[in-house]
Structure 1
């Protein structure tokens, strides 16, 4: 079968013929890959910064059709040959006995998404840039009728991560569950961000969408137009032209003397790795609010303790989400029209996709294995 293989860090992928995986065993399934999305983590991995073994077939967010089931796939998962599924990278073969696996918030028995012994498709195990891929049946989710593989693949990491970030920010994850809550998204015009804007608005939140690049801001304007009447719930801010304090005053009004902490968003999501993005977001959030960080810059973020001590800001981090969140997110996206803005490429043009990514292409870049 055809696959794009990374054989050395900081080099192009190589299109090769490799053996098709054997019939699945245990909890595993074999998936005919329909589409595989490229993520920031793919770029980090390819740079050598994650110190994983090579060679490797990348992509930890993909979708396709089940062609074979292992003998131990639980019937409770309602999976069958011919079923269409989305496949995230985490977690492949968790240990089943650690704290994460035994305290898993009603995910499949013994299955922990954050098990430290588990593998990750596209990182420690081959991922979606190949025609057939093996996955753990407990890590996948059925595709709703409204979505195809190209729509689904970007949701497997970007969609699930931002969904979990909104839940961590205190949004009730159902239609109208965010009513009365305001959320700022720093880096709103990126792959995660433009999905986050859609999810937040359709959950009922008022959204402050912050970015600082022409392509990202153009994508946000497109998203706002696509939202129709709901677009009025989004305020787009160009951080190059407006300070965080000026944005707060413009959106929420000038505070009374000594009561500045009462004005601002209830929560902010920090998506870029830049310190400026973190600082800008923290200045938008009101006292007793929450800051949710998704990015993990190599040198970390400089945090001001006074924000925690005097303003009572809570800072939390998220990484993807549990299987039941994955299923809920996919159903919500299907029914409520949340879609990534995608550009597709055939498998043989993966390196062209990578070049476009590093050149600052907006939205999500996806390999269409049906082309």
Structure 2
């Protein structure tokens, strides 16, 4: 039997029946609803918000959370497969789901009160309330401990001042999970969009993640009730715990982007005739695509094992860093090389490699740059912290 060119090691056979059903469902949604419109959305710089009810209806928002809070109670391998299939459509769509699930619903679930969970999570799972995650600031995303945004206690409220930058979903969001310095360490707050002094400003002129909403957030004396503070975590442990959740999903997402690029290059190379034969018949094209399949296969196995470790409660942040570093590098290199194989046709958004290549410039940067993850692994190996050195 011929092997699946996008799954040479038959990773699909290592999945449970439920995991396969999840992947097949999201793959069908991507094929039928995302791919027909996403190139145009990218061209227009428009997030396809009309897909949010369908994404929610499939149970993809907060998919790992308990049903009592609107979740689908899926395991983390299933969540990874959701990310992979959404990013096969576009990194912007996976970013939307990652932020909603891992960076907004997760901290409310993990760090919030029972009242906060019941107030926000069911509506977030239903796509009725959209969240964004305010951690990064303009002067240095890789050093969150140095944040300038601060909150001061004022009676039963907190007064929030500062700003955040490069915030996915910012202008879509009904609530923002905002991390701020306080007299008692870094704390998280649920900031509602109609709070006085809170403003979101969409960032324009992007050449990456054009089918995604990216914003700056500004807080000018925003009064936040104590009831909106996430009470069950203090310090960097809070936001970093969220980032580990999101980075896990990001190890899977770029696999989808790489598969999309390989798929398009395979089809194009079979149809494109040069010097009397298809490009696919040339040694150079076959070597390139074989190498892509090798790298995709390694990434698939890496993320699957990472997911099994996470579901067993054994996953370590360094393992996430290794996979995020490897899989983002794998995908951006394949997207660039696929663009090259397509020649002049590769520079248009009628073909996906240039769009994925541009998007992956953001994916390889956010949630920890490649250098940050390399240094995390280096610290694990040597026991020496080289950050800031």
The TM-score bracket by the shorter chain reads under 0.3
Higher strand share: 1
TM-score w.r.t. length of structure 2: 0.25
More helix by share: 2
TM-score, normalised to structure 1's length? Answer: 0.26
